[in-house]
Amino acid sequence: MADLAIDLAGIRSPNPFWLASAPPTNSGYQVMRAFEAGWGGAVWKTLGEPIVNVTSRFGGLDFKQTKMIGMNNIELITDRPLEDNLREIEQVKRAFPDRAIVASLMEMPERRRWHELVKAVQAVGVDGFELNFGCPHGMSERGMGSAVGQIPDLVAQTTAWVVEVSRVPVIVKLTPNITDVRHTARGAVEGGAHAVSMINTINSLIGVDLDSWKPIPQVDGQSSHGGYCGPAVKPIALNMVAECARDERVGIPISGIGGIASWQDAVEFMLMGATNVQVCTAVMHHGFGIVEDMIDGLNNYLDGRGIASAGDIVGKSVDRMTTWENLNLAYKVVARIDQDVCIHCNKCYIACEDAAHQCIDRVVSSDGRDTVVVDESECVGCNLCAMICPVDCIHMLEVDTGEPSQSWKQRQALAGLETR
């Protein structure tokens, strides 16, 4: 079997699957149960000055028959005394010395207070710190969380305060609620961070009850913006990981977070530059036991490809990401329908006719049935028909255009030369 052990900036764990800082890591009881199930590490629910939470706190986004493709929360950091958390962290680390325990921290933007918190927490034997500069609700109104994480200079300054006294690696957790996450990642590097993690939750309002007109979740008839997570945020998170992974000014390890629910999701994040992944919503939906399938799936995937260790796939797809101006304009794919599999539902015809490029025709086949065929000379290869086909009978096939590879950037450069 492949070696699943990973090393994130000096923090080692037996596999790349960690629990993210969230309700599932709120107590020693929970983290011990998670480690017994097989999780390689856990980021303890954010420590700081204990707060008072509200009820209710969560809202779910369902799509047709699928429950909770997205989740919104207005829960804040720990509501438990610091001494209770520290005692339990020490107990868990003693019971599971091979697992990574990282303490998520949040504090007012004052050097002294950060120093005091870091010294108190590292005394119980944590393997690292994760600085919560991402929480978009509640704490941000108090000058913490994303109020810091949206300003690169504050990220750099606060990170530097922690690095001054920390004896363990420091991870900076980045907010997605910003135009370009690379700028805050660079701020973390400037402050001396050993790694970054992303993404924290996205600012959101999950919905409004159409009977009562109350926003969801409601607290005595009112609500607040909250943090959005779950499978629906995965594409956003994956892009931000890729952007930082290919930025030479970042250049430190990445812990991937955002919509990860399977070993396949984890592999995608790792291929795009994440050394490990953190999971929250999927555990809240299905429990700690999902890690068994994640471990087995990753093992089988690596073994099937003859890959010796999980670390060997990290970043292998990063160089395949570029900007649009560098894409090959001469490359072409067209849709082709497998008539033996087609169920003649006409969904592809409707989608192409109403919302794409009108290149699918309805014709009468030799047996007298209506059928759909692609006019490949008109097909632009947009993928829409293949995406909506309920039986996967449409395949996108590469065709030779006879044109040399050329990007928009190259065309512009040639046009510039021709006008001189």
**CA 257, CA 8: separation in Å to the nearest integer?**
14
Whether the upstream peptide bond of residue 199 has omega within 30° of 0, thus cis, is yes
- For 115, phi then psi, to 5°, come to -60, -45
In a 13 Å sphere around the CA of 178, the CA atoms on its Cβ side amount to 26
Backbone φ and ψ of 128, nearest 5° = -175, 170
- DSSP summary character for residue 320: G
User: Rounded to whole angstroms, how far apart are CA atoms 185 and 182?
Assistant: 5
Catalytic annotation, pick one of 135, 280, 352, 385:
135
Dist. CA 307–CA 301, nearest whole Å: 8
Which is it for strands 41-47 and 17-19: parallel, antiparallel or unpaired? Answer: parallel
Helix (H) or strand (E) holding 207: strand 207-208
Q: 103 φ, ψ to 5°?
A: -95, 120
CA 99 to chain centre: 22
Q: How far apart are CA 15 and CA 6, in angstroms?
A: 6
Which residue's structure tokens are 């794919």?
333
- Tell which residue, 274, 281, 286, 285, has the closest CA to residue 317: 274
Separation between Cα atoms, residue 183 and residue 40, nearest integer Å:
30
Spatial CA neighbour of 106 closest among 30, 24, 175, 58: 175
Cis peptide before 23 (omega within 30 of 0): no
What's the burial of 186, exposed, middle or buried (CB within 10 Å: 0-12/13-18/19+)? Answer: buried
Does the active-site annotation cover 379?
no
The two three-digit tokens of residue 86, written as one number: 């520290």
**145: phi then psi, degrees, rounded to nearest 5:** 60, -130
Cβ neighbors of 404 (< 8 A, separation 6 or more) are 330
Q: Which residues are catalytic?
A: 135
